[in-house]
């Protein structure tokens, strides 16, 4: 397979096979035709891989250049990394992979191909194959990143692990995660996100996982998936890949959808609250921190909300599968503290703030509200922001959330965003604002000091800004 290195080709020039990266390392062939130069640079993927091993690592952002890195010039709807080729070199990049012939340099500093993203993905897969280590892939509608962090914390008690940074879980993030693994990595943990069918399938082909876990199936990215059935179909592409490869699957044995999908597949281990045939964990508290019991061992986490129980269960189950002692599983879970606006507990002037503003969809928001209603507090206040990517159901889903609010005891409710602003409510304690700026200009902090506050909304709403108002 050829990595093509030209923007234009002579008429009648045979199209190369672009499904392969077989390249030549010999000098470029330069042809002059009709006033244009056509540069064909062919290089074996193995040679590019040797450059990767020689480099300090992969970089795709010139703002984060590390000396000696291999810079990959990616394109997007609003950017073209090729235009930063010289800047990357000036900042210390070892070589630059480009797909724009106008940026090519005959000095050997650039590697030119027909598609830098495809090359990045192929390089990542090749690296994964060379490492030949266990790769755990996880996806789901809610809790992916938290679950990934817990799994990583638990397995790190025994193994040298490399896990997805933050939520870099897409067609770029997954290959970058793989390429961040080194010869010292013993287990890789790869988070996979998707908002359409066939995306998880494609990410699996890149990462080639041997283990898989799906957190849940919920009302997330309905606009892309089309329906909850579309969500199930898209997320379960991980199941299909792992079963095809005869790998191992971890699952929630109390989830009837997961149980049905896995059917009679034998290479699976699950957790359950009550079923003794599976790894049994019991939730014993969630006010506000989730506490659970495994055998005779009590584990008290730093995670808020009963909805985090299954995320903890996954970490404990996988830790047990890889022979992590229970005492070390307990220590790992109790040490883990959420960051980045994910179920963080903040104390501000004796007010307890549950900051869960990293993301939101109808399933996760309802779960957060249900848990919040069970918390014991002198008074309760809620700030909710719009949920995105819900397609035609968006207004209905927001109205259902507002309807649910009328069934729980909350002192003050603040709804922020166009969708929430368009909902209907008769509640006098409910305040609606089209934008955060509108809330900010109107808000007077008369909230009592001993109040517990929930802040939740989609990432684009940036509701962590509410904290500064309190």
User: Is residue 297 scored above 70 in pLDDT?
Assistant: yes
| pLDDT at site 231 | 93
CA 4 – CA 361 distance, rounded (Å): 42
Lowest mean pLDDT among 42-46, 117-121, 329-333, 371-375: 42-46
Which of these CATH numbers, 3.20.20.450, 3.40.1190.10, 3.40.630.10, 3.30.2010.30, describes 133-335?
3.40.1190.10
Q: How confident is the model at residue 42 (pLDDT cuts 50, 70, 90)?
A: low
Architecture of the 344-469 domain: Alpha-Beta Complex (3.90)
Query: The whole model's pTM is what?
Result: 0.84
The answer as to CATH 3.40.1390.10 being correct for domain 29-116 is yes
Res. 377: pLDDT tops 60: yes
Tell me if domain 29-116 and domain 344-469 are identical in fold: no
pLDDT of 19 above 60: no
pLDDT average, residue stretch 327-335: 97
Rounded to the nearest integer, the mean pLDDT of the chain is 89
Q: How confident is the model at residue 33 (pLDDT cuts 50, 70, 90)?
A: very low
Whether residue 344 is predicted with pLDDT greater than 70 in this model: the reply is yes
Q: Each residue of 261-287: pLDDT tens digit?
A: 999 999 999 999 999 999 999 999 888
pLDDT at 161 over 60: yes
| Structural domain boundaries in the chain | 29-116, 133-335, 344-469
pLDDT digits (tens, 9 = 90+) for 167-186: 899 999 999 999 999 999 99
Residue 24 has a pLDDT of 27
Per-residue pLDDT, 38: 37
């Amino acid at each position: 397979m050829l990595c093509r290195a030209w923007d234009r080709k002579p008429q009648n020039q045979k199209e190369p096979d672009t499904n392969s990266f077989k390249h030549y390392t010999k000098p470029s062939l330069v042809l002059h035709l009709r006033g244009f130069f056509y540069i064909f640079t062919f290089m074996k993927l193995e040679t590019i891989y040797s450059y990767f091993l020689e480099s300090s690592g992969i970089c795709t952002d010139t703002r984060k250049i590390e000396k000696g890195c291999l810079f990959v010039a990616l394109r997007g709807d609003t950017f073209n990394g090729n235009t930063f080729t010289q800047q990357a070199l000036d900042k210390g990049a070892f070589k630059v992979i480009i797909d724009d012939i106008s940026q090519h340099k005959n000095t050997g500093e650039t590697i030119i191909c027909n598609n830098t993203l495809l090359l990045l993905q192929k390089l990542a897969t090749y690296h994964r194959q060379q490492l030949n280590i266990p790769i755990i892939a996880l996806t789901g509608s809610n809790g992916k990143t938290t679950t990934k962090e817990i799994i990583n914390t638990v397995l790190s008690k025994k193994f040298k692990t490399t896990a997805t940074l933050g939520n870099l879980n897409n067609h770029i993030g997954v290959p970058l995660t793989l390429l961040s693994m080194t010869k010292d990595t013993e287990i890789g943990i790869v988070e996979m996100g998707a908002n359409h069918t066939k995306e998880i399938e494609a990410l699996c082909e890149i990462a080639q996982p041997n283990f898989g876990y799906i957190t849940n199936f919920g009302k997330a990215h309905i606009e892309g998936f089309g329906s909850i059935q579309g969500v199930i179909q898209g997320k379960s592409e991980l199941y299909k890949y792992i079963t095809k490869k005869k790998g191992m699957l971890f699952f929630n044995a109390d989830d009837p959808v997961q149980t049905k999908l896995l059917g009679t597949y034998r290479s699976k281990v699950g957790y359950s609250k009550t079923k003794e045939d599976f790894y049994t964990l019991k939730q014993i508290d969630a006010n506000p921190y989730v506490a659970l019991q495994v055998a005779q061992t009590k584990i008290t986490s730093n995670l808020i909300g009963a909805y985090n129980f299954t995320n903890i269960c996954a970490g404990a189950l996988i830790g047990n599968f890889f022979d992590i002692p229970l005492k070390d599983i307990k220590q790992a879970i109790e040490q883990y503290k959420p960051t980045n606006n994910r179920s963080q507990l903040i104390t501000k002037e004796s007010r307890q703030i549950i900051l869960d503003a990293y993301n939101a969809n109808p399933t996760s928001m309802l779960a957060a509200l249900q848990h919040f209603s069970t918390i014991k507090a002198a008074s309760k206040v809620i700030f909710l922001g719009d949920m995105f990517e819900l397609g035609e159901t968006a207004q209905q889903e927001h109205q259902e959330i507002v309807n649910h609010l009328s069934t729980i005891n909350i002192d003050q409710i603040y709804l922020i965003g166009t969708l929430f602003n368009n909902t209907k409510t008769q509640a006098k304690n409910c305040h609606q604002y089209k934008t955060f700026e509108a809330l900010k200009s109107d808000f007077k902090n008369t909230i009592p000091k001993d109040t517990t506050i929930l802040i939740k909304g989609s990432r684009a709403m940036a509701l962590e800004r509410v904290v500064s108002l309190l």
